[in-house]
Structure 1
Amino acid sequence: MKNVTNFVAGIVLALVCGGFAGCTDVDFHWSENRSNAKVVGFVDDSLVMVGDYRYWEEITDEWNGGYSDIEGFGHERLCVYNYRVQEDGPRWCDSLSSESATGMFGMKDQGSSTSAGQMTDSVIWAIRSSNTISLWKIGEKVHELKLSKLFDGCSGEFVVASVKQWFDDKFIVRGDKSLISDGCQYAVLDTVARTVTYKRLDENLKWLQKCDDVRAWGEDVYCIVLKENEESLVVKNKEEFIDAPFPFRIGGFWGNVMKLGSRLCLINHDSIECSDVSWFGGLEFKSEDGRILSY
């Protein structure tokens, strides 16, 4: 009689666990440490934006002996550090509450890649889908904009690689090689109207096809042309060449800061002034006197 009772109790327990999943044991926990910190932008000639995130693990023990172990990452965090003076920690930090990664620093959950970068001196961007852009400004929460797509004299989209300042408080959007493509070569993002208009370069802008990076300051267009032999150029408005303080072969615009080689510089109309700090990547900066600043 006792064996029959135990058998019936087992069947009841199995039905309860199977029907309501009440006997499943789930252990979810976040890593204590943050991971994969990287520079995502520069605020000015002394402050740098750094992004990182936390990994999580979820272990599930099923009532029937099944077992699963999945991992992911989220809680992305944006911090601001001083890269000219060694300090104990960040000037400011804020983190997102989402368990799933939003892609703000170029990664989505499960390791798939997404487009992301610096948009202005205090805003970073990420493309989560073909018609949505996420913007994270220092001191604010992430804003998601649903975009309407327009096509002006061309057809076909491109994978977004850059979103930078353009005329009339708008932004120029381009792909890695879109400026020299046969289809739409760039787009103009209007965050107020929430539109992105794909275009081809007109006669006044065709010179941008030689540029590796481009943005506008006021009514002027600035362009960096990279060459392997360290004879790269900084060009303003098609035919004005701005003398760089030294030869370089890698470079680009990071907000209002321009990186030439390993040096961080500011551009003032027709002149370039570089700080005494070098950045070779990672989270270490080196001053001319050999001091290392690390975060």
Structure 2
Amino acid sequence: MKHLLNKFEIERLLAVLTLAFVCICMWGCSEDRVRWNEGFSGAEIVGFVDDSLVMVGSYQMRTESHEGIFEPYWDVVESGHERLCVYNYRVQEDGPRWCDTLGEYNMTNAFRGQMTDSIIWGGGMPNSIRLWKIGESQHQIKLKKLTEGCSGEFGITSVKQWLDGKFIARGDKSLNAGGDSCQYAVLDTISGTLTYKRLDKNLEWIKVCDDVRAWGNEVYCVILDNEGEKSLVLKNKQDTISAPRKFAIGGFWGDMIKLSGNICSINSDKITCSDVIWYGNGDGLKFYQNDELVVEY
């Protein structure tokens, strides 16, 4: 009887030691807790809908608390639950006109750029793209990569409207790539294809563009000069669109064009700028009129 009791106790001891060994290998038997912050962080402007509405992206922080038997208590702070909102930037209002928050636990890189007047693009280009349209939920399109007469890929930093109802995807310096390197790509969201190409003779002129997009069958280009004296907006290589002010920074935001701090519209090849100024995300969600702060979120 004594021998059997000792054997039973030994088996229990071995079970406890086995559990302890497993806990040590797994960094301690722990109780994990996740707490999401009530508010949202990192708010920045990601697009302009028109001359009065702006899109703002943000995210929620979470704290994952771990407490183990053989390890001290520790926290891991990460982010997720990305949120897209629409605000009025000409008149101060109580809050956003519309918001939608993703249920994704981790970040999806949702706010990589503005694609149209109402769509923000993000995700893991060039293998897939996530589209987030105002009034709708974000969805993902898996992409098939093709090449036509060129080789190599590039990091995609811009996706904007292009000819034939498609989109032009390019990198910061890809349009200037030499040799047989691919210079841009055409995104077809219907077929789910991303086709890498070199510029043909009709499009070679856009190599000098700092930003480029199409309206219908017309190609528009922004060329920047560091001093702002020679910056200009071109249409189809030769036609210059008169700008109402000098600008050293700028580019297309959906159907709007930013010329330094001014948000402007283009109608019938005429650029009209609002009297509201936005200095960029470095200044936060602040808009000025006659040097006075008029809107802040």
Q: Is TM more than 0.5 here? A: yes
Residue 175 of structure 2: SS of its match in structure 1? helix
Q: Structure 2: which amino acid aligns with 1:101?
A: M
CA positional deviation for 1:16: 5.1
CA positional deviation for 1:61: 1.2
Q: 2:189 aligns with which of 169, 188, 191?
A: 191
Query: Quick check: 1:276 aligned with 2:275?
Result: yes
Q: Is the radius of gyration larger for structure 1 or structure 2?
A: 2
Residue 207 of structure 1: SS of its match in structure 2? helix
Partners in 1 of 2:169 and 2:102 — Cα distance?
26
Residue 123 of structure 2: SS of its match in structure 1? strand
Asked if 2 retains the 8 angstrom alpha-carbon contact of 1:46 and 1:83, the reply is yes
Within 5 A, what are the aligned runs for 1:279-290?
Answer: 279-281=278-280, 282-288=284-290, 290=292
Residue equivalent to 1:112: none
Q: TM-score, normalised by structure 1?
A: 0.89
Query: Quick check: 1:93 aligned with 2:93?
Result: no
CA 1:10 to 1:68, structure 2 compared with 1: closer, same or farther past 3 Å? farther
CA 1:51 to 1:132, structure 2 compared with 1: closer, same or farther past 3 Å? same
Residue equivalent to 1:53: 59
CA positional deviation for 1:32: 2.3
Residue equivalent to 2:205: 207
Within 5 A, what are the aligned runs for 1:6-25?
Answer: 15=18, 24-25=30-31
Q: Structure 2: which amino acid aligns with 1:294?
A: E
Partners in 1 of 2:9 and 2:243 — Cα distance?
85
* Over 2 Å off, 4+ runs: 4-24, 63-69, 288-292
Q: TM-score, normalised by structure 2?
A: 0.89
Partners in 1 of 2:89 and 2:9 — Cα distance?
69
Structure 2, unpaired ranges of 5+: 1-5
Residue equivalent to 1:113: none
Residue 124 of structure 2: SS of its match in structure 1? strand
Asked if 2 retains the 8 angstrom alpha-carbon contact of 1:17 and 1:24, the reply is no
Partners in 2 of 1:9 and 1:60 — Cα distance?
28
Asked if 2 retains the 8 angstrom alpha-carbon contact of 1:31 and 1:54, the reply is yes
CA positional deviation for 1:169: 1.3
Deviation track 1:18-49 (CA, whole Å, cap 9, x = no partner) reads 66899522121112221110000011110000
Partners in 2 of 1:99 and 1:6 — Cα distance?
45
Partners in 2 of 1:88 and 1:150 — Cα distance?
47
Residue 135 of structure 2: SS of its match in structure 1? coil
Q: 2:218 aligns with which of 199, 220, 245?
A: 220
CA RMSD of aligned residues (A): 2.3
CA 1:64 to 1:85, structure 2 compared with 1: closer, same or farther past 3 Å? same
CA positional deviation for 1:9: 7.6
Deviation track 1:237-274 (CA, whole Å, cap 9, x = no partner) reads 11000110011111000001100010000011321001
Partners in 1 of 2:84 and 2:197 — Cα distance?
33
Residue equivalent to 1:110: none
Partners in 2 of 1:55 and 1:10 — Cα distance?
43
Residue 168 of structure 1: SS of its match in structure 2? helix
Residue 227 of structure 1: SS of its match in structure 2? coil
CA 1:240 to 1:68, structure 2 compared with 1: closer, same or farther past 3 Å? same
Deviation track 1:143-183 (CA, whole Å, cap 9, x = no partner) reads 11111111111011100010000012100111100111121
CA 1:23 to 1:184, structure 2 compared with 1: closer, same or farther past 3 Å? closer
CA 1:14 to 1:23, structure 2 compared with 1: closer, same or farther past 3 Å? farther
Asked if 1 retains the 8 angstrom alpha-carbon contact of 2:108 and 2:123, the reply is no
Query: Quick check: 1:123 aligned with 2:119?
Result: yes
Residue equivalent to 1:28: 34
Structure 1, unpaired ranges of 5+: 106-115
Query: Quick check: 1:82 aligned with 2:80?
Result: no
Report the number of matched residues: 282
Residue 96 of structure 2: SS of its match in structure 1? coil
Partners in 1 of 2:248 and 2:92 — Cα distance?
29
Deviation track 1:219-243 (CA, whole Å, cap 9, x = no partner) reads 1111000001212000011100011
CA 1:188 to 1:273, structure 2 compared with 1: closer, same or farther past 3 Å? same
Residue equivalent to 2:241: 242
Q: Structure 2: which amino acid aligns with 1:254?
A: W
Indicate the larger mover: 15-24 or 177-186.
15-24
Partners in 2 of 1:170 and 1:242 — Cα distance?
24
Q: Structure 2: which amino acid aligns with 1:167?
A: L
Residue equivalent to 1:165: 161
CA positional deviation for 1:62: 1.4
